[in-house]
Amino acid sequence: MVEFWIGALGLSLLLYVLLDGFDLGVGMLFLFAPSETARRHMLGAIAPVWDGNETWLVISAAVLFGAFPLVYSVLLSAFYLPLILMLLALILRGVAFEFRYKAVRLRRLWDAGFVAGSYVAAFVQGVTMGALVQEIPISGGLYTGGPFGWLSPFALLCGVGLCLGYAMLGAGWITYKTEQDVRAFGYRILPWLLVAVLAVLAMAFVFALRLDLRVIHRWTERPVMLVFPAIGVLACGGMILAVRRKADLIPFLMGALIFGAAFATLAVSFLPFIIPFSVTIEQAVAPPSSLSFMFWGAGLFSLPLTLAYTLVVYVVFKGKVRGPAEYH
């Protein structure tokens, strides 16, 4: 049961980062769209899937609450303010998405809300991950930092990096789902975003070395981890080649592979800790009876049904957004 729920948590987090990541990225690129038609096509490219993508965030929180309640309580205590800010940003983004189609005089206002919500949500997620990598103060299973104990220059850098990474995923998605000016815009900005992501990763690595973060020592303890950065490097090369050849789907897949390699690197470097480097999986897991009870509901039905729903939606709404298509 423990292995099953760790796998479910990892899968739901990865799917959320990849799926909601690209539609948050489209929201961030929305600010730079070349025309109103381009903006409509960008929204049309994510309209059938964006709210379903956020389901994986709910599933991740539910798995933490039921299977790893100690982690849920510690993270909520540590990141209460940023998580509330993220949820407000996601609400603003969803409202703005719907209202901008009905608005006339206030359309620019809702456009700004859509862009701002996308940036804030992505930035907060990056800051949270950066704070976890740098380690939050925990004693006796309780968070001992203040309301801003998660805030640091390293965490802020990670927030910027995730914004750039999501924007790269978003650019890859619009090259796949759109045509004409939007597709050209995606191809034009992809190389710059890739360079920016790699630059921030390099800065974060140097920062981690100077701070002597414990996560860095895992690289020498577990040389097998180098396999995942190598996969990321190959994916960067694949993206560059795909952009040159205008292979529409490949840039998005290469971006997803880069994120997957980074996710695997962090996951392997954290084990056996679930909150680095303070709480182990064994310490955080719920009693076996709770895990088994959850399995017959969430594990046996909710997760497979959500996976099936996600797959069906992406198959049904495959193809490009064309002509004067509205998202409705």
Query: How do residues 143-178 score in pLDDT, each as one tens digit?
Result: 888 889 899 999 999 999 999 999 999 999 999 999
pLDDT at site 325:
56
Instruction: Write down the domain spans for the chain.
Output: 2-316
pLDDT at site 181:
83
Beta bridge partners of 280: 273
Residue 112's contacts (CB-CB under 8 Å, 6 or more residues apart) are: 96
SS3 category, 148: coil
Measured at the CA of 136, the angle between CA 16 and CA 269, to 5 degrees, comes to 60
List the one residue out of 161, 168, 164 whose CA is nearest residue 208.
161
Query: How do residues 53-68 score in pLDDT, each as one tens digit?
Result: 999 999 999 999 989 9
Under a CB-based contact definition with an 8 Å cutoff, are residues 204 and 211 in contact? no
Helical H segments across the chain, by residue range = 2-29, 36-46, 50-53, 55-67, 69-78, 80-102, 107-134, 153-177, 180-211, 214-221, 227-245, 250-270, 281-284, 288-294, 303-316
pLDDT at site 140:
83
Residue 259 CB-half CA count within 13 A:
28
Under a CB-based contact definition with an 8 Å cutoff, are residues 251 and 190 in contact? yes
CATH topology (fold) of 2-316: Formate dehydrogenase/DMSO reductase fold (1.20.1630)
Residue 272's contacts (CB-CB under 8 Å, 6 or more residues apart) are: 280, 281, 282
Question: Which of the residues in the chain have pLDDT under 70?
Answer: 323-328
pLDDT at site 222:
79
